[in-house]
Amino acid sequence: MYLLYLKTRGFKPGTLKDTRKHLDTFDLWLNEIKQQDIKQITVKTIREYQLYLKNEYRKHNAQPIASITIIIKLHTLKRYFKYLVKHKEILLDPSVDIELPKGREYLPKHILSQEEAERLLSVPAKTAMDIRNKAILELLYSTGMRGQELCNLDIYDLNLKDRSIHIRIPKNRKDRIVPIGEKAKQAVENYLLTSRMKLCKHVREKAVFISLSGTRITQKALRYLVKKYIRKLRLDKNIGVHSIRHSCATHLLENGSNLRIIQQLLGHTSPRSTEIYTRIVPQELKTAISRYHPRERMRVV
Active site (catalytic) residues: 146, 171, 242, 245, 268, 277
List strand residue ranges (DSSP E) for 163-280, in order: 164-167, 176-179
The DSSP secondary structure of 153-170, one letter per residue, reads: -BGGGEETTTTEEEE-S-
**CB distance 110 to 238 below 8 Å:** yes
CA distance linking residue 86 with residue 244, whole number of Å? 41
The DSSP secondary structure of 20-44, one letter per residue, reads: HHHHHHHHHHHHHTT---GGG--HH
CA distance linking residue 205 with residue 197, whole number of Å? 9
User: Which is nearest to 82 in space by CA: 57, 53, 46?
Assistant: 46
Cα-only R_g, the chain:
23
